[in-house]
Amino acid sequence: MNRILARRGLPGRRDAGQRRITVMAAVVTAAFLVLIGQLWYLQVLEGGRFLDASDKNRLRIRPIAAPRGILYDRHGVPLVDNRPTFTLSLIPRELPREAAARDAVLGRVAALLRIPFQELQEAAARVPLDSFLPVRVRRGLTLEDVAKVEEWKLELAGVITEVEPQRVYPNSRFAAHLLGYVREASDDQLRQGRYRRGEMVGQNGLERLLDEYLRGKDGGERIEVDVMGRTVRMVQQNEPHPGAQVVTAVDRRIQEAAERAMEGHAGAVVVMDPRNGDVLAMLSTPAYEIDQFTGTIDRAAWQRVVQDPKFPLLNRVIQSQYAPGSIFKLLVAAAGLQEGTLTPGDRVQCNGEFRLGNATFKDWKEGGHGLVDTHHAIAQSCNIFFYQAGLKI
Q: How confident is the model at residue 22, as a pLDDT?
A: 72
In a domain, 87, yes or no: no
Q: Dump pLDDT digits (tens) for 53-80.
A: 444 556 777 788 899 999 999 999 999 9
276 or 125: which leads in pLDDT: 276
Q: How confident is the model at residue 266, as a pLDDT?
A: 92
In a domain, 136, yes or no: no
Whether 139 shows a pLDDT value over 90: the answer reads no
Q: Dump pLDDT digits (tens) for 217-240.
A: 988 888 877 665 667 787 888 899
Confidence category of residue 89, pLDDT binned at 50, 70, 90: very high
Average pLDDT over residues 245-266: 95
In a domain, 86, yes or no: no
Average pLDDT over residues 157-183: 90
Integer Cα distance of 85 and 166 in angstroms:
6
Whether 7 shows a pLDDT value over 50: the answer reads no
Average pLDDT over residues 143-169: 91
Element (H, E) at 135: strand 135-141
In a domain, 298, yes or no: yes
In order, the DSSP letters of 318-377 are: TS-----TTHHHHHHHHHHHHHTS--TT-EEEE-SEEEETTEEEE-SSTT--EEEEHHHH
Q: Dump pLDDT digits (tens) for 302-322.
A: 888 888 888 999 999 998 887
In a domain, 275, yes or no: yes
The CATH number covering residue 382 comes to 3.40.710.10
* Same domain, residue pair 292 and 329: no
Contact in structure between 115 and 138 (CB atoms under 8 Å): yes
Range of the domain at 368: 325-392
Indicate the number of domains in the chain. 2
* Same domain, residue pair 382 and 337: yes
In a domain, 264, yes or no: yes
144 or 42: which leads in pLDDT: 144
In a domain, 300, yes or no: yes
Confidence category of residue 14, pLDDT binned at 50, 70, 90: low
**Mean pLDDT score of the chain, rounded to an integer?**
85
* Same domain, residue pair 331 and 384: yes
> Of the residues 280, 307, 334, which one is the last residue of a structural domain?
307
Q: How confident is the model at residue 52, as a pLDDT?
A: 52
* Same domain, residue pair 331 and 295: no
3-state secondary structure 81-95: EEEEEEEEEECHHHC
Residues 6 or more apart whose Cβ sits within 8 Å of residue 362: 352, 353, 383
12 or 18: which leads in pLDDT: 18
Q: How confident is the model at residue 13, as a pLDDT?
A: 57
* Same domain, residue pair 283 and 329: no
129 or 351: which leads in pLDDT: 351
* Same domain, residue pair 376 and 348: yes
Q: How confident is the model at residue 381, as a pLDDT?
A: 95
Chain-centre distance for alpha carbon 12: 88
